[in-house]
Chain A
Amino acid sequence: MNKQHPRTLTDNDVIDRFIETQSQDDFGILYSRYSNKVYSKCLSLLKNEVAAQDATQEIFLKIFLNLANFNRKSRFSTWVYSITYNFCIDYLRRKKKERMIVSDDQNVEGQDLEDDGDDKDLLEMEIDRLKTVLDLIPVEDKAVLLMKYREELSIREISHVFGKTESAIKMKIKRAKSKTRTVYKNLYETK
């Protein structure tokens, strides 16, 4: 049994202990590490406090009931992010509040997947404008841009979250950036 101080334990150490003992302490450690992140993400995507609260509860239940199935191929934080993101997207689909984009896996071949590489304008957007623009683009585009620029996830990690190929993710990011620029121009650069 690992009796290290909770702060020095990695997520995987705590998960192993929780699976073995089902102890409330280990539940508490994992919960305290991720609850604010999950709740904030739900709030950002669902834009409703009650829905975010319910979603956070269900997401944590899902996480703890499926902990033994976590295969350690990705970081635990990426796995948590993946469950959170997919839960919120499913919720929005059920509520039909968002028109979802048809799978980006289609027609990817032959298209220019390479990122333009010039993110300067996106990175330097003034924060209030950026918030406004992100709230006006489809939620999947917002999520993929936040994964790339806020969480700084790699393309491989983002592909795990979405369950899509790396090529599809590159295309998705490129389209999301293009939509962000278009909305920004329409809002702030036209008279």
Chain B
Amino acid sequence: MIPKADEPFHFFSRLSLNVMTGIKAGNLRELLEHLKAVPESVIYQQTHRFLQQHQFLVPEPPNDFAYWVTHMLQDEKLGECLAAIDTVRFNSLEELRQALVSAIEKHLAKTNHSRPAPEGKEFHFMSAIRFSVPTPYFARDLAEFASCLKKVSISSLYLHVFEAKLRPPLGVNDFSHWFRTQLGETKLAKQVERLDPYTQTLEGLRSKILGLAQSRLEELSRAAA
């Protein structure tokens, strides 16, 4: 018997429109200074933009700061350090900001010099207007969930996996929350939570979640037989 949810899972999409703040940094010290002061929406955009824009560009690092430091300031050591900051570990943007700030401060304390970016290659701080768009997809059980997950856009996956972790209940993606609270599927919820969404493409993530849901469906149908 496949468990049915009291509250169906309604898939939404997250779309965003890039906003230019007009703030730019020409060296590491300026980057640090602005990084401390810009709104959280800027931190979010610069650490998540690549996820939606570079689905096939595997060499891209997981945040814009690492890319700029590596390629424009030619500081590979700090670039690697910034790229290795484990975005998935942080439950708030403020914590993520502090990790970035701390990495740069430590580096500056050791090197004490701030190489300028070439002319025209300054770091431009960006923000975004975010839109929450309801889709026509609703799931009342795991079978419907799998069927919907095949059809929704990657923007929907992005919203329910990435953004969900940054709002209550903190650190939990929407899918796992629904599996646990509506279907009683604790093991499946944990399996999805364990996936690191920052180190794979959204399409890769979709097929992994689908695979987990389908395996569980097969178990349930075997148990019912």
Task: Specify whether A and B are partners.
Answer: no
